[in-house]
Chain A
């Protein structure tokens, strides 16, 4: 019985043409569009690995020199180093031959970069790399010194670990890194697909309510309890939504090669939970009896788009703007929560923040479902 209903719920939803359009085609088109629009950035992000820097020295910097040397050799060298005096270094910088100037004063390092803000995203990334190198170097200076004085043969290991670290870290401190923003477009795309599941959720409410659709009336006249039919519909929709989400994420990850980080299974999980959130949101809206069916469809779609707008689907740094003016909104904006969960997965090693985001999604889903159940519990209608 249950399976019987579930089977047809699934079939019916998976065959709905508008669904195919929104949940499958749309992400493909938009994702591809993003990919093309950002492809320039992508190329530079893979090439940036060697960053040209000028080094201006004062006093003795034996150790620093050694570190720089080991970082500047080999195929995957981090830096291309030019030693010079300050004047010619500034000239190099002006001509954009180097991305930054490292001032080394008795092993203490500080930096200057082309201009504090702006430039292309590739320049931004290079700046960040230099910055984080300096931080790393200063933070680990004592270890480096130790190594050089006690077992110089291990310097390469230490340094390569340092630069390895940095390559992983290069994303973390990016407050205005454009690389970040670009990924956030894709995260938001996933969020949008998840939230567009609200259209499915809307269908649950409409097709189970006697006053909203002829099918609903027919169901209400049958001996199958409403709660049973709603729950099966819900599960059917969630199943379909999960398929769509998996499809979208797979398309982004494998066809467009979007970098979701190492924890891809968790990305799928986050997407699916986001889908549940979308479906239950639609169910809640669909159950509000005051609105007409078309109005509800408009409301859910508009809501989805507005959420995605504030979380940065259309304008990349929207989320940053929101976090300045109304940080709480990012915590409850479903699109922001979904895309943040993906962000956390990629950029944080531990799962604390990710788990927190997932819990937020689940709590919101439960709230929406309860609202829906509460509103649909009525079984006789004042008007059909």
Chain B
């Protein structure tokens, strides 16, 4: 059984009337890439801040590396790398100076630090930009610098709070690959995001949060098994008459069918030939249709089913 790196018990955090975290429990094991997934305002950043002892909380218990986390727990702090949601670098320092500065807060030995800084630069592929000031970096490069500043001291636990916000897909993939590499080198990762694709891609275990509560937890497969949806069939078509919808709804395994904006969406639970059966019904009813999709459930479906609303309302 792997060691527990982070243990959060019954964490409650209130901002006046708003309960930002409501009896949250989390346990993160050595070597995991732990995903904290939730919509905006669900309390991900708050959880991280409490975990880091930045934020005072009302109730609960937090242990890191087996010891209670406090502002004075410098031993734990030495082994944590933190990449905040907001980029935290000095505009007046160059890329390499920024990394060196933040690394210096952890590593006092000069030679050792020099090596760490070089490693961090190589890792984030910022070699060509070491003399650049942050203002001159593109969004993606800036995020990479932000990451380099957080991981240069080779921490055992790396916490990334939405590191890919406003980053183009290519840079995003680089970042995600980097995180997996760090994990392969032995670091435990906590990764928060509201992009379910990212979380699906890299996380070994995921907790889904909503309104300060943990609503589900497990590997992505476990999470998907929790819901009855196994397949969603979408068909581009003109308006579907009510009686046809009824017929589709009556098909075995189908539990929901609706048509909006020329798109028929059918949700199925189990069964193997759902797509064929649905198309058959459409053909029998002389309805023309365009493209057809069959999708496996996503974490969004998990979220949707548990909370009754989409993970991300926009996009």
A interface with B by C-beta (< 8 Å): 1, 4-5, 8, 11-13, 15-16, 210-211, 213-215, 217-225, 229, 379-384
Contacts and interface: CB of A to CB of B under 8 A. Distances in A.
B102 interface: yes
A218 B77 contact: no
Interface stretch (B89-97, B177-185, B222-230, B275-283): B89-97
A12 B54 contact: no
Interface of B: 15, 45, 49, 52-56, 71-72, 74-75, 77-78, 80, 82, 84, 86-90, 92-93, 97, 100-102, 104-106, 108, 110, 149-150
Nearest to A13: B92
A369 to B, nearest CB: 22
A221 B54 contact: yes
24 contacts: A4-B104, A5-B105, A8-B104, A12-B92, A12-B93, A16-B92, A211-B54, A214-B86, A215-B88, A215-B89, A217-B54, A217-B88, A218-B88, A218-B150, A220-B52, A221-B54, A222-B77, A379-B53, A380-B56, A380-B71, A381-B54, A381-B55, A383-B55, A384-B45
Contacts of B100: 4, 8
B105 A219 contact: yes
Which residue, B55, B75, B100, B149, has most C-beta atoms of chain A within 10 A? B55
Contacts of B108: 1, 4
Contacts of B90: 8, 12, 215
B93 A214 contact: no
Contacts of B92: 11-13, 15-16
B74 A223 contact: yes
B293 to A, nearest CB: 41
Nearest to A17: B92
A305 B65 CA distance: 51
Given A210-B54, A223-B77, A381-B56, A217 B105 contact: no
A4 to B, nearest CB: 4
Which residue, B87, B90, B108, has most C-beta atoms of chain A within 10 A? B90
Contacts of B150: 218
Contacts of B74: 223, 225
A218 B102 contact: yes
Contact of A382 (B56, B80, B89, B110): B56
Contacts of B49: 217, 384
A8 B93 contact: yes
Given A12-B93, A380-B54, A223 B78 contact: yes
Contacts of B72: 379
A383 B46 CA distance: 9
A1 B105 CA distance: 8
A224 B45 CA distance: 23
A383 B55 CA distance: 6
A379 B71 contact: yes
A340 to B, nearest CB: 35
A214 B55 contact: no
Contacts of B75: 223
B93 A213 contact: no
Contacts of A15: 92-93
Q: A-B pairs with the 3 shortest C-beta distances?
A: A214-B88, A222-B105, A379-B71
